[in-house]
Structure 1
């Protein structure tokens, strides 16, 4: 399988042309956003942990123009996989119904009743961004629909946040020309809107840090998001002249609904525990693992185990969240002090910690293959969802490494530092 590289034509020009071809009019606004990749910690955001993510030079671009019939029409072309657009549509009325169906309920015992996980595809997810922006007063309540055209150079199913990048680019395009778009508080609000929309409408729950990184990241730096206090900081990028990163992906039969439902099961357990202890995050709760297990045992005893994780499952999850958060903190410290040699053992420890906690599919085999071919470290790109890993390779061996894996019929994509999301036109 050939090495993947983006088109040479500017992506903003390509999405503008695609919008004119599909809709027949020029777009009102165009925005672009980068691919994001998690170095470590992408599953501990709900726990209140630390997530470290980087921006790639691979991007998506979104073009929008208004409609007046209440429809959200989406045309999506992933140039990394196909030149044929996928199309989907939904109405604002349908989005309102989907949002209402995701509201929490309460049973006769006073326990929270969670709705079935959302199963939405492209139109539901990105129409959900429109719906959420209307309700968060970032768009007028007179909004009556949009035509949305997406062109993506980010490979699908590679764990590089392609859909999260579209969320962000779409939100910027919808906001349009705003003098405050570069201000951190405004970008933080847009990131929160994107995360809320994806959580409510998309089959796959979002990695919160992807939206924050795409909007608030920095060129040649990684983004560190500490969910204990919501802080966003930066540290020197580990991909330098000495180290090259690659996303390596194996073919898979992808079931977004099943993968998303399992991730949400864990998130809802954390939500319930936080509610029980009256805390915003379990990381703020002293002795959280033991106290949460004691609480879960009491829940099992009083209400039964139906709809709850087993004690063994919960113990394993909580141990991983604690250990992964500590690893992420150590990773951030090593980045800031420029101790490059300390980074890769932490990534290997993280990969080992993921085993048994998530259904990794073929990802562990990809990681082992990458290590056997000379990688310094290889870690799942999005554990439990994609058969993809991020490998870090000595730059002097990078081209041979990539060519060997491409010869094994794996999709190989070079990851170079990128820039945050911007309004293009």
Structure 2
């Protein structure tokens, strides 16, 4: 079967499109256009909320906002994607800024409206500094593909309201510094958790606002400190193939929150701030397994409790994933701590990707048939390694593939999907792109 490759419009085309959408919706020209990228997470899945280090990078695919501040506190927004990737909304949705609260707004508008609310809650702006706004949205980040379309929407919105507040006060925008962007990312996380109702960690917003062109960004999720990491697949003759299963995922349906709550509960019963603090020094796989065994002994002895409504095998498996995934990231950091890489370096990275997926599938149980089939078909066709990326339950997988094998691997995955009767997958090649910015 011939693979379907995602077509990404040029930035200028998307800027023109979102500007036209604004003009049609509101009858005048926008004052600015902002954009923020989606992301791929190379390694470190479901550990951001457990204090682990994650290794995402920004995608060239971005969400664009055409925007103008209003003289009142009304927020009006229109999107070309709709609530589930449908056709464009013809009339704006609206809400007063003062009416934004947990449970007060639903669907895609929650990811927009939650941002100014969270910025005020975090003390980044005062109520009087934030005007309402007219907003039009368009995006090349696929919805439901596990590539963080929600964070891209939040972060582009954050840049717009940050600019409004700076103009009203005469201060420098928070987006002008990494420290300020960190604060905006924290506000976006709060917006997603409390207004959109998806209790995610902070990886997606952090990379969207703080990415480095050409680099993976190592983010320590205990304090959100970062450092760029050079993982130059192109120079090694390799490629990162993104395989969108087109099995739509939804992180606000309760499954994600259930797993996070179990990790948070386990850390709390151990007297830890996060599960990362369970390690005594730099995490290793050997210590991860030792800590799981220690925890099980404590549970058996009645010294610590199991997470609510969770049996011992399930809780043990979830903890094993969290601790081993934290350790796998540390192994990856060590692999790329020097400027030179060898074939063995890339083979080891492939092994880490494979082990990550196997753990997410078997221990954390956040994979699905479509993700597993993409991973297995890519491996069988010659990928060095493959795994699901993102929250799971659908979305996308990635494969580390030699450049000459990319067509072969994509065709193998597409053919496997056709035989299984799944939706046709879609493919793109990922390379580290720039962070959120003003485009016009």
Choose from 273, 277, 280 the match for 1:280.
273
Is contact 1:187–1:216 with CA below 8 Å preserved after alignment?
A: yes
Residue 232 of structure 1 and its aligned partner are, at CA, apart by: 0.8
Partner of 2:262: 269
Which of 8, 16, 19 lines up with 1:6 in the alignment? 8
Residue aligning to 1:358: 365
Contact 1:296 1:311 in 2 (8 A): no
In structure 1, list runs of 5 or more residues that go unmatched.
100-118
Measured in 2, the distance between the counterparts of 1:170 and 1:402 equals 35
> Residue 110 of structure 1 aligns with which residue?
none
SS of the residue corresponding to residue 319 of structure 1 reads helix
Structure 2 partner of 1:335: 336
Rounded to whole Å, the distance in 2 between the matches of 1:306 and 1:419 is 40
1:138 counterpart residue number = 124
Separation (CA, whole Å) in 1 of partners of 2:29 and 2:302: 60
Q: Deviations over 1:59-110 (max 9, x none)?
A: 111122234564433322249x9783246444434422538xxxxxxxxxxx
Structure-1 separation of matches of 2:263 and 2:5: 40
2:424 paired with 1:417: no
Contact 1:248 1:389 (8 Å CA) reproduced? yes
Distance 2:303 2:103 in 1: 30
CA–CA distance in structure 2, aligned partners of residues 387 and 360 of structure 1:
9
Q: CA deviation at 1:256?
A: 4.8
Deviation of the 1:245 alpha carbon = 1.6
**Distance in 2, Cα, partners of 1:306 & 1:43:** 17
After superposition, the CA RMSD in angstroms is: 3.0
Counterparts of residues 205-224 of structure 1 (less than 5 Å): 205-224=199-218
Tell me the secondary structure at the aligned position of residue 314 of structure 1: helix
- How many angstroms does 1:359 deviate by? 3.5
Q: Residues 415 and 360 from structure 1, CA distance in 2 versus in 1: closer, same or farther, beyond 3 angstroms?
A: same
Distance 2:5 2:249 in 1: 22
Total equivalences in the alignment: 400
* Equivalent-residue separation in structure 2 for 1:216 and 1:237 (angstroms): 17
1:248 paired with 2:243, answer yes
Which structure 2 residues correspond to residues 295-334 of structure 1 after superposition, within 5 A?
298=302, 307-334=308-335
* Distance change in 2, residues 1:276/1:67 (3 Å): farther
* Contact map agreement 1:158 1:381 (CA 8 A) in 2: no
Match of 2:30 in 1: 27
Contact between 2:74 and 2:132, CA under 8 Å: does it hold in 1? yes
Q: What is the deviation of 1:44?
A: 0.8
Pair 1:97–1:180, CA change in 2 (3 A): closer
Q: CA deviation at 1:400?
A: 4.5
The correspondence of residues 376-387 of structure 1 with structure 2, limited to 5 A, is: 376-387=384-395
Given the two structures, how large is their TM-score scaled by the length of structure 2?
0.81
Of residues 143, 147, 160, the one that matches 2:134 is 147
Deviation at 1:297, TM superposition (A): 7.8
Alignment of 1:6-405 (within 5 A): 6-8=8-10, 10=12, 11-67=14-70, 70-78=73-81, 84-86=87-89, 88-96=93-101, 98=103, 120-142=106-128, 143-176=130-163, 178=172, 181-241=175-235, 242-252=237-247, 254=249, 256-258=251-253, 261-285=254-278, 289=292, 290-291=294-295, 294=298, 298=302, 307-337=308-338, 338=341, 339-356=345-362, 357-361=364-368, 362-402=370-410, 405=413
SS in structure 2 opposite 1:98?
coil
Distance 1:306 1:388 in 2: 29
> What CA distance in whole angstroms lies between the structure 1 residues aligned with 2:303 and 2:179?
40
Q: 8 Å contact 1:351–1:380 — kept in the other structure? A: yes
Residue aligned with 2:175, SS: coil
TM-score, normalised via structure 1 length: 0.84
**Matched residues in 1 for 2:323 and 2:20: separation?**
48
